[in-house]
Amino acid sequence: MLILRRSDVVETLRDQELAIIDVVAEAYRLHDAGSTTLPHSTFLRFPEERHRRDRIIGLPAYRGGAAPIAGMKWIASFPGNVTAGLERATATVVLNSVENGRPTAFLEGSVISAKRTAASAALAARLLAGPDTPTGVTLVGCGVINLEILRFLAAALPGLAEATLYDQDPARAEAFARTSAEAVPGVRTVLASTLDQALAAHPLLSLATTAAEPHLDLSPCPPGSTVLHVSLRDLTVQTILDAVNIVDDTDHVCRERTSLHLTEQHTGNRDFVTAQIGALLRGTAQLRREPGRHVVYSPFGLGVLDIALAEFVRARAERDGRGTRVPDFLAS
C-alpha cells in the first residue's frame, strides 16, 4: 500500500494543469464509450438539525481503457467549517487493483477533488465558449474551488486576462483577490460590489457556491454566456429551461435536488439536457449554439474523474519516490 499525504499530492500535481485536463477529458471519453462503471454516489446525511447542510459522499468508480483501475472517493462537505476557519471539504481516495482487488494506494483526496473539478470546468469552457476565446471570467463564490478553476482557466485559455469576483462576504472576495494575485499572476482581479454587476461583467461565468436551493437567474449576463454551474443548485428551474444544457452524466446530475433534478421534477422529463460532455469530446453529439441563449454546463462530479486522477498521481509519485510505502498493510 502506498500512502500519499496532502503534501505528496500537491507536489505531484504542481504545474500540471494541462496534463490534468487531458486526464479528465480521457475519462469522459471512456465514460461515453461505455468503458466505465459508475454507481450512483452514496450520500451519508445526519438526522440532527445542526447538521442539515452537512454530508459525506462515497463515489465508487471503475475506469477501463488501456490501464484499468477501480476505487472510491470518500468526501465530507461541512459548509459551516468555513466560518470556523477550516476547509469546507476533506476527502480520501482508495485505489484497488482490478486483477486481485487488493488496495494499491490511499491518498489525501481534497486536492484531487478540487483539481478534477477545476479541470472539468476549464475543459468545458474551452469546448463550449464558441469561436471567441474568453478574455475574462466572473467567479461567484470565492473559495477553494473557484481559485482552482481560475488557475485551470488561465492554463486552458491563454488569452484570459481578467476575473471579476463576487462573494456574499466581501472579506472573502478581498482575500481571494490577494491569493489569486500570487497563484495566477497573469490574471487581473476586479471586485464587484453587487451580484448583478458581477454577472454582467463577462460572457464566461463560474458558479461555485454553497447554495442549497436555487436563487439565481442569468438575466444580467451578456447574451449567449457560457456558465460553469459547478455548485449545481444556484440556477432556477426556468433558467435551466431557457438554457442549452450540457452535463457530465444526465442520470447522475438529475439527483439530490440539483437545479436539474428540480427541473426534471417540474417537467416530468429530461428533454432539457442537450448533450453529455463525453459525447461532445468524442463527436457523437454536436453543440449548436443559439443566438442569445446561454450555455450551462452542470457537472455532477463523477467518481471516475477522481479515480483517474488519483491513478495519475500514484504513478507519478511512485516514479518520483514520494509517499510512504507500507509493505505489510495486509499482513495478518
User: In the chain, pLDDT over 90 holds for what percent of residues?
Assistant: 89
pLDDT beyond 90 at 256: no
Mean pLDDT calculated for residue range 81-97: 90
pLDDT for res 192? 98
User: In the chain, pLDDT over 70 holds for what percent of residues?
Assistant: 100
Residue 219 CB-half CA count within 13 A = 5
How far apart CA 112 and CA 74 sit, in angstroms, is 12
17-26, 49-58, 214-223, 233-242: which range is least confident on average?
49-58
Backbone angles phi, psi at 312, to 5 degrees: -60, -45
Mean pLDDT calculated for residue range 156-178: 96
Q: pLDDT band at residue 87, thresholds of 50, 70 and 90?
A: confident
pLDDT beyond 80 at 326: yes
How far apart CA 113 and CA 129 sit, in angstroms, is 24
pLDDT for res 98? 95
Mean pLDDT calculated for residue range 142-153: 96
Q: What is the 3-state secondary structure (H, E, C) of the chain?
A: CEEECHHHHHHHHCCCHHHHHHHHHHHHHHHHCCCEECCCCEEECCCCHHHCCCEEEEEEEEECCCCCEEEEEEEEECHHHHHHCCCCEEEEEEEECCCCCCEEEEEECHHHHHHHHHHHHHHHHHHHCCCCCCCEEEEECCCHHHHHHHHHHHHHCCCCCEEEEECCCHHHHHHHHHHHHHHCCCCEEEECCCHHHHHCCCCEEEECCCCCCCCECCCCCCCCCEEEECCCCCECHHHHHHCEEEECCHHHHCCCCCHHHHHHHHHCCCCCEEEEHHHHHHCCCCCCCCCCCCEEEECCCCHHHHHHHHHHHHHHHHHHCCCEECCCCCCC
Residue 142 CB-half CA count within 13 A = 24
Q: pLDDT band at residue 212, thresholds of 50, 70 and 90?
A: confident
pLDDT for res 197? 98
Enumerate residues 6+ apart whose C-beta is below 8 A from 79: 53, 54, 88, 210
Cα-atom radius of gyration of the chain, to the nearest Å? Answer: 19
pLDDT for res 85? 87
How far apart CA 270 and CA 251 sit, in angstroms, is 9
pLDDT beyond 90 at 50: no
Give the count of beta carbons closer than 10 Å to the beta carbon of residue 118: 30
Grid cell of 230 as nine digits: 459547478
Query: Are β-strands 69-77 and 136-140 bridged in parallel, bridged antiparallel, or unpaired?
Result: unpaired
pLDDT for res 260? 98
pLDDT for res 244? 97
pLDDT for res 93? 98
pLDDT for res 129? 87
Residue 248 CB-half CA count within 13 A = 29
pLDDT for res 37? 97
Grid cell of 264 as nine digits: 426534471
Q: Rounded to the nearest 10 degrees, what angle do helices 6-13 and 303-320 cross at?
A: 90
Return the higher-pLDDT residue of 52 and 232: 232
pLDDT for res 8? 98
pLDDT for res 53? 87
pLDDT for res 107? 98
pLDDT beyond 90 at 6: yes
Mean pLDDT calculated for residue range 186-211: 97
Per-residue pLDDT of 259-286, as tens digits, reads 999 999 999 999 999 999 999 999 999 9
Per-residue pLDDT of 286-297, as tens digits, reads 998 888 999 999
N residues, the chain:
332
CA 126, distance to chain mean position in Å, is 15
Per-residue pLDDT of 119-143, as tens digits, reads 999 999 999 987 778 999 999 999 9
Reported pTM: 0.93
> What is the average pLDDT value for the chain, to the nearest integer?
95
Place of cell 454507481: 39
pLDDT for res 295? 97
